[in-house]
Structures are given as structure tokens and as C-alpha cells.
Structure 1
Amino acid sequence: MNSLALSACAVIALSLPGFSQSMSWDTSGTQGDNGPGNELVFGNGAHGFTATSWGYTAGKRNQAFEAGMSVIYSNGIGVTNADEKNPFRIPEHQLDNAKGNEWMLFVFEGPVSDVSIKVDPYGTWDRDVTYYTANLSGQIDLAGLTYADLEGLGFGERTDDFSTRGGDSRDVSVSGGGTFNAILIGAMQGKPGGKRDVDRFKISSLDATYLVPEPSSALLGGLGALLLLRRRER
């Protein structure tokens, strides 16, 4: 198949309809294999995502990302950054911004939209959230990178989702202006003003809508492109 055929197939495939499938993942449970830079994998039938944790704690003044440790607890995923000596110490075992910002990177197996992430504090804390969305071509390594590097990786603008101080879980609606396959989410980016402003929570569940292309439509689209090419060659 020549380049014209490939181009025609690509154009038609992008315009083909797909169907949406609502998915849910429970990210609470019991601890598994833990260690710096570990990866958690969550599945639901044919669809799932990976989760890695990061701390903006590299350097003497917290100037870049470095790998953290993801731990599954009874009420969700927590993060321990590289500067925290005791990985399971309460309340530092949550995603927080007390001593450098902590993040979780979720990479889905396909394009998603209408994502809802449930954040659940252990105790009473502020629950402000910052997130970025992206369409990535594969797994990425954030180690040594800065916030300024996120745009070059494909991440969009920073989005802040404000809440109040409390002990109840809440849902964060993630919007990327369309479909995306990656979310970088953490406690409010930046240094909190005081102890009562520290944001802390775990991530207990995710809901998303997967966009799945219809196989029959894709096949018909490919055949249509080939027929178009043959007519042009005649």
C-alpha cells in the first residue's frame, strides 16, 4: 500500500464513529509490592491504567520531579516522596504538599473523557487539587524534569480544583477539553500558606468514559480507502 492509501486510511479512520464505555476502578485495598519508582496496574475487563507516583522534591529547594512510592491503603492510594524517611507514617503517607508537592501519574490504555477521581483524606485536611491532562504516546519518565517541561511532553494547562478543609471524600471532575490518555494529579501545586492550608488525601476510585472505535466501521473505512485509491489509479 503506497503513501496515498495510508493517508486515506488515516483520514477515514479519524472520522469514523466509536462507542463510549463507562468504566470504574476501585483503587483501595491492601498493600502490594512497594518501593521507590514502583508502578501500580489497575484493570477492568479490557481497559485499565497504570499509576506511578512522583515528588517535586529533587534538589535542595524542591526544583524538579523525582520518583516516589505508591502504596495502596484501605481507603486509597497514598504517596511517599523520596525525602520522607518513614514510608507509612501518618499523615505523610497521603498525597500532600507539606514538604514538596506529591503527584500521581495515571496513563490509560486508550482515550478517555468525563473522568471523576475520588479523593479521600485520612483525617481532617484541606482538599484542594491540581491536575494536568495529556495525550501521551507511551510511558514517560518525569525524573529531573520541571513544571516548565510538562508542556513539551504534551500536557495542557494547569487546572486547580478548590475545596474546603474537611474529613469527607469528594469527587474531582477532570476535564481536558476533549479526550486524553494521561492525568497528572496532586495536592494543590505550590507551598501552602500555613499548617491549616496543607492539602492531604488519598485516591480511592476513578470513573471514566472510554472511547472505543467500532471494529466493523474501521474495517469498512479501510476498504473504502483502498477502493478510492484503485479508482484513482485507473
Structure 2
Amino acid sequence: MDTILRRKLTLTLTLTLLCLAAPAHAQVYFDFTSGGVTSGSSFGNSITFTSGDVTLKATSWADTGANDTFESARIRSWASYGLGSCNRNEGSNCSNPEHQFDNYGDHDYALFVLTGGTSEVLFNTITLDPYNTWDRDVSFWIGTIDPGLDLTGYDKMDLAMLGFGAQMDVFNSRSSAAIEIALNNISGNALLIAPNADQTSTYYRHVDRFKITGLEAEEMARVPEPATMFLFGGGLLGGALIRKRRPGLTVES
């Protein structure tokens, strides 16, 4: 009887701890074609979006500084079309087509930093709309960074030391169709994305241009600390032993 009880206890405890340890994922989606709270109206401004208990702060940057270092740009929202950017060489009120993220002369970058909820998410997909017929090659970096990071004065070669992972590139054909880019379910709290960061073109047919319409990610639930699981498991075991010792209690085989 004791052997049977021990087996049942072992199985129950194992299954319980596995359930506690398994991270649960909650889907979050940010629609950049509507909503959002804008802070500031010139270079260095930001737009904030919320999905569930996760807050996303969007800013834009460009390599318009000395020696191609980053300077803040102005991020803007266009209803139905999503997020675009005006860099310092274009002017804060730039017009079509410069108000898209592009690599015409300079490289524009969008930085998305997530806070609240859990400390990290799995980045699933991002949706881009070329808003005309343009090339749609993309470079992106995902990492865990200081939420207050200011990219001013850095360049893309500094991204690793700032907490970003390796540069990922996705090459797409020239088209006017919106496209969904897989972000490979990489975990982090920040996404930096740009039109092909290794190409600069002034020939229109080679320019990569797009607005950003949406971002999908999965919020990762916190895994219980080992001490918590130990105490919980110990409680189960102790309760079961007390139950066994109660007089008149039988254990079914």
C-alpha cells in the first residue's frame, strides 16, 4: 500500500510541478492604424499603444548624425496606413513619400520598447505597407534593453553592446502589397526595424519604403521560482502523508 501511495504522490507532484514550470503565453497585438497616444510633435517624440497589460512605446531614429550615428527623428501616425517617420534631413513635417520608413539617402529606424506585464515577449510578426510600389527589404534586431535607452550618438555596430541580438534580414520583391514579416518568435523587450540597413539608394526603383501597420507578440508568463515550487511540492507531500496517517483512511489501488 505504501508503494502505491508513493507512486501516486510522485506522479501527482511531478505533474503539478510541470504545470507550474510551463510558461503560459498570452497573445498581444498592437494596431498602429488607430489609437495611440502621441507625446511631442517634433524630433524625439513618441507614440504609446496598449494591449492588455503591455505598453508599447514607439520612437523613430535615423543615421543622420556625424559618421552615420543615430539621431532622433519624428514618428508619425497616419490613420489606416500606420506609422511613418520624418528624419532630420527630411524635416519634421516631411511629405509623401519621405514620410515612410525608407533607406533613400539615410536609413530610418523604428524602435518599439515594451513594458508592463512580463519582462519579455516573444515577437511573432510585424506588418508593413509600402503605400505604393516599392522594394520591401527589411532588417531587424530584437533584444532586452534598458527601456529608457537613448540611441543618440550610437550606430548600428553598437547594437549588440546595447542588448540587441544579431541583425536579421528579410528580402522581398518590389510590390504595392502589404506584407507580414516573421520575427521568428525571438524573446526580448525591444524591436528595432529598418528598411534594408545595408543598402542606401537614391535610385527610386531600389529604395525600400513602408509604413508599419501592426505588431503581434506573445506575452510570456513568469515561471515560478524554484523555492516556490519546492514549498508548494512540500505542502502537497506533507498533506498527503497526514492524510495517509489518519485512522480509518484507506487508499484505493
**Which band: TM-score by shorter chain?**
0.7 to 0.9
Contact 2:60–2:85, Cα closer than 8 Å, also in 1: yes
Q: Does 2:76 correspond to 1:54?
A: no
Deviation at 1:28, TM superposition (A): 1.1
Deviation at 1:213, TM superposition (A): 1.9
Give the share of equivalent positions with the same residue, in percent: 30
Partner Cα separation in structure 1 for residue 26 and residue 34 of structure 2? 25
Partner of 1:180: 188
Partner Cα separation in structure 1 for residue 129 and residue 72 of structure 2? 22
Q: Which is greater in Rg?
A: 2
Partner of 2:78: 73
1:122-149 deviation line (CA, Å, top 9, x unaligned): 1111111100111113221100101111
Question: Secondary structure of 1:148's partner?
Answer: helix
Partner of 1:37: 44
Partner of 2:178: 169
Q: Does 2:117 correspond to 1:111?
A: no
Contact 1:56–1:64, Cα closer than 8 Å, also in 2: yes
Partner Cα separation in structure 1 for residue 161 and residue 204 of structure 2? 34
Question: How many corresponding residue pairs?
Answer: 209
1:99-154 deviation line (CA, Å, top 9, x unaligned): 20000011112311142100001111111110011111322110010111111111
Q: Which amino acid aligns with 2:150?
A: D
Partner Cα separation in structure 2 for residue 25 and residue 51 of structure 1? 11
Question: Secondary structure of 2:165's partner?
Answer: coil
Task: In structure 2, list runs of 5 or more residues that go unmatched.
Answer: 1-19, 235-253
Partner Cα separation in structure 2 for residue 152 and residue 102 of structure 1? 20
Distance 1:137 1:144, change over 3 A: closer
Contact 1:16–1:221, Cα closer than 8 Å, also in 2: no
Partner of 1:99: 105
Partner of 1:7: none
TM-score normalised to structure 2 length: 0.75
Contact 1:30–1:72, Cα closer than 8 Å, also in 2: no
1:86-108 deviation line (CA, Å, top 9, x unaligned): 62411000000002000001111
Distance 1:78 1:35, change over 3 A: same
RMSD over aligned Cα atoms: 2.5
Q: Choose which of 194, 213, 228 in structure 2 pairs with 1:222.
A: 228
Distance 1:223 1:195, change over 3 A: closer
TM-score normalised to structure 1 length: 0.81
Distance 1:194 1:224, change over 3 A: same
Q: Which amino acid aligns with 1:57?
A: T
Task: In structure 1, list runs of 5 or more residues that go unmatched.
Answer: 1-14, 229-234
Q: Which amino acid aligns with 1:163?
A: N
Contact 1:97–1:187, Cα closer than 8 Å, also in 2: yes
Partner Cα separation in structure 1 for residue 35 and residue 145 of structure 2? 30
Partner Cα separation in structure 1 for residue 57 and residue 217 of structure 2? 14
Q: Which amino acid aligns with 2:222?
A: P
The structure with the largest strand share of the pair is 1
Partner of 2:9: none
